Structure 1
Amino acid sequence: MIDREGFAAAFDVPRETMAQLDRYATLLTDWQTRMNLVGPSTLPQTWHRHFADSAQLLVHAGHGRTWLDIGAGGGFPGLLIATIDPKSTVTLVESIAKKCRFLETVASELGLDRRVIIENRRVEALPRQRFDIITARALAPIVQIFDWARHLADKDTRWVLPKGARWEEELAATEGRYRFSHVTRPSLTDAQARIIIAHDVVAQ
C-alpha cells in the first residue's frame, strides 16, 4: 500500500507539489460528504487508490503532453496528472455539473487554471481536435471509449487506459470493431489490473 511518503518517493514529487496534493486530498474528503466522487470505501486509501493509481500513467505517457480525461469525476487521473506534471495541459470531460464544480474548485485552489480545461458535456460533443493522450478510468469498456473519442485522436495518439481484472475480456471485445497496436503493462496499485497502451486505432 502506497502512503503519502511512499507516493512522494515513488514519483519523485517536490515538497511544493506535495502541499498541493495535501490540499487536493482535503477537498476530496470534504466534497465527498456532499456527492459521490470516489467509492466511499476507497477514501482512506486516497494516496494509493487514487493518487498513485493515476500518477503511474505518466510513466507510460511521458511529460509535457496534451491529455484528454473522459469522465473525470473526482479528477482521476487527469487532474492528478496536471498537478504533478507542470508541463502538461489537461482537458477534463465530465457530464455531471456538480462534479465539474468540484474540479473547478480544485484546479483554482491548486493554481492549475491555465493548464486545465473543464468541459461540462459528453465527450461525443467535443469538437474535432487532436490530443497526445486519451485516458479514462473506471468509466466504460475499451471499445466504448474508442467509439466515443476516436474523433479526438490520430494514429499517433496514445490511449492510456487503466483496466481492472477483466482487461483481457475488454480487449477481446474490440475484435472485429477496431484494429490497433497495443501493449499491456502491470499496475503498481493492483496485481490483477493492467494498463492498456494503444495507438493507431482504426474502426473496421
Structure 2
Amino acid sequence: MDAEPDPERAEFAAEFDVSRETMAKLYCYANLLADWQQRMNLVGPSTLPLIWNRHFRDSAQLLPIAGTGQRWLDIGAGAGFPGLVLAILDPAAQLTLVESITKKCHFLSCVATETGTNTQIAVANVRIENMASQRFDIITARAAASLDTLFDWGLRFAGPRTRWILPKGARVQEELASAAAHFHFDYQLVASRTDSAANIVVATRVKRR
C-alpha cells in the first residue's frame, strides 16, 4: 500500500482523533495485511483496498461504545478485526484474541510485535469452547457466529457487568429473536458508522433461560 495522501486515512484520523504516531502503527498494520494476504486468505480480496473504512473504521467504532482501559475478549479474531485495531487505538486496553487457525495466530502475533502492542495482546490459538474460563469487561466478535452461538460460547467469560459489543448485519432482528429463545438479556442497538443496514448489539445481563 502506497504512502500517497489518502482521503479515507485522513477522514479516519479526524473522526477518531488519532495521533500521527498511532496512524503510523495502523499504516504498518495495513502493509502487513497486504503482504500476508498474498500468501493466505485473511480478508476478502475485494475489501483490501477499502481497509480504512471496511476494516479499521468498522473496528474503531466499538471503542467509543466500550470506553478505554477495558479487558476485551475477541472471539474468532481472524485478521485482527476488531481486536488489533482497538489495541492500537487504546494503549490502556488489554485484549485476548481467540483464533483456532494457527497461521492466522502467527499473523496476529506479527502485527502485535511490529506495532508495539504485544504487551497488551494475548493471542490464544485455541477453539473458544476449549479455552480456560476467565472474566472480561467486554466480549466482541466480528462475523464469527450468530448471536445465540456467541452467547453460548462467551457466557463462561462474562461477569455481572460484562458488556457484549457485537457488530451485526441486516438480519439483526432475526438473530435477536433466535437468541431470546435461549437467553435472557438486555440490549440496545447502535447504528453502524460503516453500513447503513448494520447495527452494533450492546448486550448486558446475559444468562441462559
TM-score norm. by structure 2 comes to 0.96
Residues 1-204 of structure 1 correspond to what in structure 2 (within 5 A)? 3-204=8-209
AA in 2 matched with 1:114? T
- CA drift at 1:29: 0.6
- CA drift at 1:123: 1.1
Percent identity, please: 56
- Give structure 1 stretches of 5+ with no counterpart: none
Aligned counterparts of 2:37 and 2:18: Cα–Cα separation in 1: 25
Aligned counterparts of 1:47 and 1:78: Cα–Cα separation in 2: 15
- CA drift at 1:146: 0.6
AA in 1 matched with 2:48? L
Alignment RMSD, CA only? 0.8
- CA drift at 1:139: 0.9
AA in 2 matched with 1:59? P
Aligned counterparts of 2:180 and 2:95: Cα–Cα separation in 1: 30
- CA drift at 1:113: 1.2
Query: How many residue pairs were aligned?
Result: 203
Aligned counterparts of 2:55 and 2:130: Cα–Cα separation in 1: 27
TM-score norm. by structure 1 comes to 0.98
- CA drift at 1:126: 1.5
AA in 1 matched with 2:95? V
Aligned counterparts of 1:141 and 1:174: Cα–Cα separation in 2: 9
Aligned counterparts of 1:195 and 1:88: Cα–Cα separation in 2: 20
Aligned counterparts of 2:180 and 2:53: Cα–Cα separation in 1: 33
Aligned counterparts of 2:46 and 2:173: Cα–Cα separation in 1: 26
Deviations 1:168-195 (A, max 9, x none): 1100111220000100010000000000
- Give structure 2 stretches of 5+ with no counterpart: 1-6
